[in-house]
Chain A
């Protein structure tokens, strides 16, 4: 593949996040609405939301395996790293983002 055909990985990462996130959120919101559980029913609502989250996470792993035949270890490691990154992004006050980001993010194409 010559340079002209190579994807701009920084650009694609940002674009994925921007394009995928609304679509994913919509699917997850739909599943939540379909459950018929209202936020007022706190315990059930949290349980259902957690199950949707777990289903989505598992589904993404399935996609990765389907497309690339990734190994079990790779799936677990990449998933774990992504969750760590998400936690840093979502809870910036809990972690020192600048110090830990480099440690959590592996090099590209690192299988």
Chain B
């Protein structure tokens, strides 16, 4: 439970964040989180994007890591995993452990998640569900796409150009996602297009609150 106490301290620090000290607090949080959970070097590179350039910038407090919410989520999940393990061996401690999470600001690590994932709801046979992917990926993807949009320097005031570059980002993102699927599974061209089109249609139905066919009986992203 010592890690849990340490994590509580991290979260208290997080509550002190304001515009003036955000860089300092986040840099400290990431450093301590890194050592607290003993990430392997490869994992740390993945989670923290710990390129030399980024590390230098973060350590000097020059820049707040762009994936702050994502890393907080990882830290939180790590502690939740510990709590689950502790709960199995000592159920009486669970409510005390839950109190630690109440220290979290409502948006920390789950900016787009509408509901929290209750402890102990992970299916051990199929540990990460579509819903979890959705909650993990959407904030991160939107952040990447937002960053690309900002890089153009085009503001929403320039309506036509803004729509144009946003459309390009959207299309580039779709193509990138397709490249990922093809690389990982060598999916056929037809499969890739069918799955992608279904996903778009389903997303559109959800975004516009219209009824749609439940493609091949799946319940993804409901």
Contacts of B96-136 to chain A: CB distance below 8 A: 126-128, 130, 132-134, 136
Contacts of B31-52 to chain A: CB distance below 8 A: 46-47, 49
A27-B144, A63-B145 given as contacts; is B185 within 8 A of A57 (CB)? no
Contact B138 A86 (CB under 8 A): no
Contact A53 B178 (CB under 8 A): yes
Closest Cβ neighbor of A36 among chain B residues: B127
Give the interface SS of chain B, mostly helix, strand, loop or mixed: helix
Contact of A7 among B47, B133, B165 (CB under 8 A): B165
Closest Cβ neighbor of A105 among chain B residues: B171
Alpha-carbon gap, A110 to B199, bound state (A): 22
Within 8 Å CB of A28, what residues of B?
137, 177, 180
Closest Cβ neighbor of A60 among chain B residues: B173
B169-196 CB mask vs A (1 if < 8 Å, else 0) is 1111111111111101101010011011
Within 8 Å CB of B174, what residues of A?
57, 60, 79, 82-83, 86
Alpha-carbon gap, A45 to B198, bound state (A): 20
B202 contacts A by Cβ under 8 Å: yes
Contact B192 A90 (CB under 8 A): yes
A30-B136, A86-B174 given as contacts; is B198 within 8 A of A54 (CB)? yes
Contact B144 A24 (CB under 8 A): yes
Within 8 Å CB of A70, what residues of B?
163, 167
Contact A33 B46 (CB under 8 A): yes
Within 8 Å CB of B221, what residues of A?
54-55, 58
B183 → A minimal CB distance (Å): 9
A97 contacts B by Cβ under 8 Å: no
Closest Cβ neighbor of A64 among chain B residues: B170
B104 → A minimal CB distance (Å): 20
Alpha-carbon gap, A15 to B199, bound state (A): 26
Alpha-carbon gap, A16 to B148, bound state (A): 6
B160 contacts A by Cβ under 8 Å: yes
Closest Cβ neighbor of B196 among chain A residues: A83
Within 8 Å CB of B192, what residues of A?
83, 86-87, 90
Contact A59 B141 (CB under 8 A): yes
Contact B177 A60 (CB under 8 A): yes
Contact A76 B201 (CB under 8 A): yes
B218 → A minimal CB distance (Å): 9
Contact B207 A62 (CB under 8 A): yes
A21-B176, A87-B178, A109-B164 given as contacts; is B203 within 8 A of A57 (CB)? yes
Q: List 5 A-B contacts (CB under 8 A).
A: A20-B176, A54-B195, A58-B202, A68-B167, A90-B182
Q: List the interface of chain A (C-beta within 8 A of B).
A: 1, 5-7, 9, 12-13, 15-17, 19-21, 23-36, 44-46, 48-68, 70, 72, 75-76, 78-87, 89-91, 94-95, 108-109, 111
